[in-house]
Structure 1
Amino acid sequence: MNRALFLAHTAAPSGAELATLRLVSALRDQGRLGVAMVYTEDGPMVERMRARGVETRVLRGRFESRAMTIDSGPLGLVAGFLRLLRLGWSLGATAKELGTNILVAESSKALVMGAVAARRARVPLVWQVHDRISADYFGRLPTLVLRLLGRLCSRGYLANSRTTLSTLPIGRTPALVAYPGVEFGTEAPRPDQRPPADTVVAVVGRLSPWKGQDVLLRALAATKVRPHQVFLIGGTFFDEEPYRAELERLAGELGLPVTFTGHVEDPAAYLRDTDILVHSSVLPEPFGQVVVEGMHAGCAVIASVPGGPAEIIDPGVDGLLVDGGDEHQLTTALDTLIGDPALRARLAMAARLRAKDFDITETAHTVAAFLDDIAQRNDAAGTPHAPERAPHG
Structure 2
Amino acid sequence: MLAGKRVTLIIGGGIAAYKCLDLIRQLRRAGAEVIPVLTRAGTEFVTPLSVAALAGMQVYQDLFDLKDEAEMGHIQLSRAADLLVVAPATADMMAKMTGGHADDLATTLLLATDKPVLIAPAMNLRMWSHPATQRNLAQLHADGVRSVGPNSGDMACGEYGPGRMAEPDEILSAIAAQFSAGPMSGKRVLVTSGPTHEPIDPVRYIANRSSGAQGAALAVALRDLGAEVIFVTGPASVPPPAGVAVHRIETAREMLAAVEAALPVDAAIFAAAVADWRVENSLTQKIKKVAQTSPSITLSENPDILATVCAHPERPKLVIGFAAETENVVPHATAKRLRKGCDWIVANDVSPATGIMGGSNNTVHLITEAGAEDWPPLPKSEVAQRLAARIAEALA
TM-score after normalising by structure 1: 0.34
Q: RCO (CA 8 Å, sep 6+): is it higher in 1 or 2? A: 1
Q: Report the structure, 1 or 2, having the larger helix content.
A: 1
- Which protein shows a greater Rg? 2
Q: Report the structure, 1 or 2, having the larger strand content.
A: 2
TM-score after normalising by structure 2: 0.34
